[in-house]
Amino acid sequence: MKKTALVTGASAGIGKATAIYLARHGYTVYGGARRTDNMLDLRSYGITPIALDVTKDESVVACVNQIFAAEGSIDILVNNAGFGLEGAIEDLPMQDARYQLEVNVFGAMRLAQLVLPKMRENRYGKIVNISSVGGKIAFPLGGWYHASKFALEALSDSMRNEVKEFGIDVIVVEPGATRSEWGTVATDILLKVSGHTAYKDLAAKTHSLFTRLAKDVAEPIVIAELVRKGIEAKIPKARYTTSQLASLLLLGLKRILSDRQLDRLIMSQIK
């Protein structure tokens, strides 16, 4: 039977690419995002746009109930909605830090809570959480973003074993640098938050590093392909990571270097 997928953060970048890619491969797709005007073009692919603010429970509940009413269930949930806050932990207002976690962590988990009962009833379901290489390695001036992705990884590990007996798979996808609005927004926030504080030198060097990295990024379709690979695998892997050399090298070094050695390596790249 044709499977129904909800992709969050579908107004741009990885979310939009994933929604289109799944629709092209036979899935019934709903794209959720706050900026519904940026999803109007999705209709031409047979995708249904839905207004979704993952930080507002009434919006999340309404989105899920709308799909349940139309399709009966949500078979695949792609938790992609997210953004990155950059800035020194000392500088970043706690209100902003809480919002980072609301979007990247609590919003994703609330959606999982709402779709799981139907998945259990159907003895089938796929929950794909879009994490990051930054869910394994933390860079300076990105503490709250990394905290959100580290948390998403841990919650995915717990949930994976909780729901396995019900025929449900929990899959983590870990993109490296990917072409999207994320990088521009993150670097703008970085300079706004810490560009004029005690951390201004580190902020300037980190901004320069981001600018260099922006020249060698993966296209969003690469992540969309990983999502489809995971949900269609008979026995999916717990994690799928992009094949970018820099990402694979960094994750490999984390496994063999001590914390202090890794710190020196990261700071040498920034400086």
**Window from 82-86, 152-156, 209-213, 224-228 with minimum mean pLDDT:** 209-213
Domains defined along the chain, listed by start: 4-270 (3.40.50.720)
Residue 145 has a pLDDT of 95
Tokens of 78: 């792609």
pTM of the model: 0.93
Give residue-wise pLDDT tens across range 120-169: 999 999 999 999 989 999 999 999 999 999 999 999 999 999 999 999 99
Residue where the block lists tokens 């009434």: 58
pLDDT of 269 over the 60 cut: yes
Q: What is the pLDDT of residue 210?
A: 81
- The whole-number pLDDT of residue 253 equals 86
Per-residue pLDDT band for 239 (boundaries 50, 70, 90) equals very high
Q: Does residue 8 carry a pLDDT above 90?
A: yes
CA Rg value for the chain: 19
Read off the pLDDT of residues 167-214 as tens digits, 9 standing for 90 and up.
999 999 999 877 666 556 667 889 999 999 999 999 999 988 887 776
Which pLDDT score, from 0 to 100, does residue 113 have?
98
Bridge partners of 78, per DSSP, are: 7, 128
Task: For residue 54, give both structure tokens.
Answer: 């993952």
**CA–CA separation, 62 and 38 (whole Å):** 20
**Which of 223, 121, 244 is closest to 171 using CA atoms?**
223
Q: Please list the residues that pair with 4 across neighbouring strands.
A: 28
Residues of the chain with pLDDT > 70: what percent? Answer: 94
Q: Which of 21, 27, 30, 145 is catalytic?
A: 145
* Active-site residue flag, 124: no
Instruction: Judge whether 153 and 131 are in contact, CB under 8 Å.
Output: yes
CA distance 57 to 205: 39
pLDDT reading at 57 higher than 90: yes
Q: What is the mean pLDDT of residues 4-14?
A: 96
- Mean pLDDT throughout 77-106? 96
> 69-83, 164-178, 180-194, 243-257 — which one is most confidently predicted on average?
69-83
Q: Please state, rounded to an integer, the average pLDDT across all residues of the chain.
A: 93
Q: pLDDT at position 187, please?
A: 75
